[in-house]
Amino acid sequence: MAYQFITIPVQGMTCASCVATIEKQIKKIDGVKEVSANLALENVSISYDSDKTSPPEFIEGILRAGYKTPLASSNNKTSSVLFEEVNKRNLLQVWIGAIPVVIFGMFFHDFRPGQYLSFILAIFLMAFPGRYIFKKAWHQLKILTPAMESLVALSTLTALIFSAFTLFIPAMHNGHLWFETPAMIIAFIMTGKYLEEKAKRQSAASLQKLKDIQPTKAKVIRNGKEIELDVSDVQLNDRVLVRAYEVIPVDGKILIGSSHINESSITGEPMPRFKTKGDEVYAGSICQEGALTLLVNKEPSETVLSSIISAVTHALSSKAPAQRLADRIAGVFVPVVLVISLISFAAWMIFQKDGQFTMALTAMVNVLIIACPCALGLATPTALVAAIGKAALNGILFRDGETLEKTATTSLVAFDKTGTLTLGKPEVKDHYVIPENLAELPQWIPVFCAMEKASHHPLAEYVVNYLQQLFPPNEQLAIDHQVEIIPGKGVIYRNLDQVFRLGSLQWLQKEQIEISEEMDKIIEDWLKRAYTLVVFSVNKKAVMILAAGDTLRPDASSCVNALKKQGISSIMLTGDHEVSARVMAQKAGITTVFAECLPADKRKILEDYSSKGQTVLMIGDGINDAEALAYAHISATLGNSTSLALDLSGITLTHGKLLHLPLSIHLARFTRKIIHQNLVWAFVYNVLCIPIAAGVLFPFTGQLLNPMIAAAAMSISSIMVVSNSLRIKKLNLQI
Question: Active-site residues: which are they?
Answer: 416
Give residues with Cβ within 8 angstroms of 537, minimum separation 6: 500, 501, 502, 508, 511, 513, 543
Residue 615 three-state SS? coil
C-alpha of 512 from chain center: 59
Residue 687: Cβ within 10 Å count? 9
Whether the Cβ atoms of residue 581 and residue 599 lie closer than 8 Å to each other: no
CA distance 583 to 624: 21
Could you tell me whether strands 569-573 and 634-638 are parallel, antiparallel, or unpaired per DSSP bridges? unpaired
Distance between CA atoms of residues 154 and 158, nearest Å? 6
Helices and strands counted in the chain (H then E): 27, 25
- Assess contact for 455 and 583: CB atoms under 8 A: no
- Packing angle, helices 441-455 and 460-470, rounded to 10: 160
Cβ-proximal residues to 116 (8 Å cutoff; 6+ apart), any chain: 167
For the sheet containing 3-9, what is the strand order? 3-9, 43-49, 32-38
Cα–Cα distances in angstroms (integers) from residue 161 to residues 100, 122, 153, 173, 580, in the given order: 19, 11, 12, 14, 83
What gap in Å lies between CA 589 and CA 206, rounded to an integer? 35
Angle among Cα 357, 137, 66 to the nearest 5 degrees reads 175
**At CA 628, angle to CA 623 and CA 630, rounded to 5?**
90
Cα 80 to chain centroid, rounded: 23
- Would you say the C-alpha torsion 81, 83, 84, 89 has a positive or negative sign? positive
Fill in the amino acid letter for 605. I
Using DSSP bridges, classify how beta strands 616-619 and 634-638 pair: parallel, antiparallel or unpaired: parallel
List the 252-256 sheet strands across, edge first: 225-230, 217-222, 239-242, 292-296, 252-256, 280-281
Contact 389, 731 (CB under 8 A): no
What does the buried/exposed string (b/e) look like for 362-375 if buried means 16 or more CB atoms within 10 Å of the residue's CB? bbbbbbbbbbbbbb
Helix or strand (DSSP H, E) at 586: helix 578-588
Q: What is the 8-class DSSP label of residue 186?
A: H
CB 493 within 8 A of CB 451: yes
